[in-house]
Amino acid sequence: MHEEIAALEANHTWDIEPCPPTIVPLGCKWVYSVKVQSDGSLDRYKARLVALGNNQEYGVNYEETFALMAKMTTVRTILALVASSDWPLHQMDVKNAFLHGDIKECIYMKPLPELFPSPTSHVCKLRRSLYGLKQAPRTWFDKFRTTLLQFSFMQSKYDTSLFLRKSDMSIVILLVYVDNIVIAGSDSTLLG
């Protein structure tokens, strides 16, 4: 729990403020899981604070929810290209990915008493996305896409989860699936 709380605080996920009288804030809860390594041995215990997005109302505190994911034909094509060209291939999981999305809507959440000894009239006004919110995958992808475009990547018009950065001498390929990224390219020094 301490790691999750530290990530939420470092990300400035919310502001504590009085609850507007017309707002019914969302609840939240801890979700616990056990992470295992590929050999089945214990890796770590994980705690995640999730908003109770099942109580969100369309048009009030969410609108767009669709998160783009790589098409399987694109995944197969990229893997075939990498294998036939003998290019390096990497995979990464973005830690706390959904916490990086910026929220446009006004979303208020009841703070957990063990986290904040705040007056009962105060709530968390979310600045960033949280797991459990209906728009969390979408806001993460939008932030990631904007960042890649700033670094001269081009987004494919055929599969919007595919990003390419080309030069005269090399190409870097990023393929996004929720919060997992496949990275490949012709020059291993650019992938490090």
Phi, psi of 160 (to 5 degrees): -70, -5
Q: Where are the domains of the chain?
A: 2-190
Of the candidates 98, 92, 106, the residue with the CA atom closest to the CA atom of residue 129: 98
Between β-strands 108-109 and 122-126, what pairing exists: parallel, antiparallel or unpaired?
Answer: antiparallel
In the prediction, which pLDDT does 118 show?
A: 63
Predicted pLDDT at 51: 96
pTM of the model: 0.84
Tens-of-pLDDT digits for all 192 residues of the chain? Answer: 888 888 888 889 999 999 999 999 999 999 999 989 889 899 989 899 999 999 999 988 888 887 678 899 999 999 999 999 999 999 999 988 999 999 999 999 998 877 776 667 889 999 999 999 999 999 999 999 999 999 999 999 999 999 999 988 899 999 998 889 999 999 877 776
The pLDDT score that the predictor gives to residue 126 is 96
Q: For residue 22, give Cα distances in angstroms to 19, 25, 60, 119, 155.
A: 8, 10, 12, 18, 41
